[in-house]
Every structure is written in structure tokens, then in C-alpha cells.
Amino acid sequence: MILSDADILDRLAEGDLVVEPIDDVDQQVQPASVDLRLGERFLEFQRTNIPCIHPTEADEVGDYVTETHVPEGEEFILHPGDFVLGTTTERVEIPPDLLATVQGRSSLGRLAIVIHATAGIVDPGYKGQITLELSNLGTAPVALTPGMRVSQLIFTELKSPANRPYGVERGSKYQDQDGPQASRIGADPEFGADGDEETEGETATEGETATEGDT
């Protein structure tokens, strides 16, 4: 069952579902979703001279991205073909009996801006800001302004609460993330790291479903 605006407001009031800060409830709480705003930090992918990026090598992944801070009121120009990681302004806490899905707003979609590549799921138990995978599929640059409503979060009630929700007990990689986070796939157990299987919660994702929760 997908939560309506009344259901969402009830769960927010109870405190087990957290989306904060919500500056304007009437504007951000939609009939069956909550609009989330674009944060001020971006991770931009740099062109490099190395033959390829090895996802399992943390140093390579880290060297491939640089963080850019754009204060609210200024613009981040997303050019055609660009891919950057952004973040929501809001921090969320998803209870064990809910699954959240991140979707783009249709008004931005009509400008050829997509807000996730594969990471569209926010797992039960996830806490933190949500990393957005921003792409411009169009032919013209588009100016994005921190603070603008850029995505929406839809909540689905599970038949029963998750026995092992996203979090520390699972060894989840992105729990309590603050700002956009680069890939930590090298921490997956199939590459020799300790931890649980990836679910991506982090909207994961978002074949490989990763989710914000991507463990």
C-alpha cells in the first residue's frame, strides 16, 4: 500500500518516519509523496588519463571525483551528457515497515533532467541524506539551484516489517551519510570485504539494484 498525504503526515507526526527539514508542508507534501530539495554539494566526475576506473579500488574512485559547493541562491549548470552526484537537503529516517522510492519531478523530466540512474530505492531502516544521480539527457545546459524541489519520495508499506533493516547490524555502507557519497562498492563482501550483501537500499540501485540503502 502506498501512503497518501494523510498517511504521510500521520507517520511524520508519530515520529517513526522522519523527513527533515520540511520548510513548507503544504508545498512539499504532495497527494502521495514528499518533495525533496536539492542540496548545496555536488561530486563531479573528472576526465582522467587512466585506462579505466576499477570500482573495487577506493583510491581510484576517490581520485575520480571532486566536490563542488554551490550556495543556495546560486546555480549549478548541468551540461548535456554530464553526470554528477548531488544530495537532498532533507535527511530521512525510514522505519522498518516502509520502503521509500526516489523519483524525479515531472517538470524537470520535461527538461531532460533525471535524478537517478539506478539508485531509486531507500531501504527500510535507512537514515541520512539521499544521494542523487543527476544527468542531463537533453541538448541544452540546465541551471539547477540548491533549494529547488528536485525529487519526490514515495512510501510503500511492507506486508511485514523487515527483520534485518538497513543499518549498522548489516554493515551498511551508506548509513547516516551526509552529502553526496561516491561509490563504496569495494566494500562489498564479494570483493573480499566484510559485510552483508548489497541490497541497495540506496536507491540502488538503484540489474544490480542499488538503493540508499545500498549496503
| 3-state class (DSSP) for residue 62 | helix
Q: Which three cell numbers stand for residue 88?
A: 537532498
For residue 62, is pLDDT > 80? no
pLDDT higher at 60 or 14? 14
**pLDDT on residue 72:** 84
Q: Is residue 209 part of a domain?
A: no
Q: Is residue 211 part of a domain?
A: no
Q: Is 133 a catalytic residue?
A: yes
Helices (H) and strands (E) in the chain, counts: 4, 13
Q: Is residue 214 part of a domain?
A: no
Percent residues over pLDDT 70 in the chain: 76
Percent residues over pLDDT 90 in the chain: 60
Per the CB < 8 A criterion, the answer to whether 105 and 38 are in contact is no
Q: Is residue 199 part of a domain?
A: no
For residue 181, is pLDDT > 50? yes
Q: Is residue 179 part of a domain?
A: yes
pTM of the model as a whole = 0.81
What torsion do the CA atoms of 47, 43, 115, 34 make, to the nearest 10 degrees?
Answer: 180
Q: Give the tens place of pLDDT for each residue, 103-153.
A: 999 999 999 999 988 768 899 999 999 999 999 999 999 999 999 999 999
pLDDT band at residue 78 under the 50/70/90 scheme: very high
Average pLDDT over residues 21-42: 96
Find the catalytic residue in 20, 57, 60, 133.
133
**Rounded-to-integer distance, Cα 87 and Cα 76, Å:** 13
Q: Is residue 44 part of a domain?
A: yes
Residue 100, φ and ψ in degrees, nearest 5 = -105, 145
CATH code, domain carrying 71: 2.70.40.10
Cα distances (Å, whole numbers) of residue 106 to 4, 114, 140, 146, 147: 19, 9, 18, 18, 17
Query: What's the number of domains the chain is made of?
Result: 1
Q: Is residue 24 part of a domain?
A: yes
**pLDDT on residue 120:** 86
Average pLDDT over residues 72-95: 94
Boundaries of domain holding 177:
5-191
**pLDDT on residue 184:** 62
Give the per-residue SS3 of 3-47.
CCHHHHHHHHHHCCCEEECCCCHHHHEECCEEEEEECCEEEEECC
Q: Is residue 106 part of a domain?
A: yes
DSSP state of 63: H
**pLDDT on residue 189:** 67
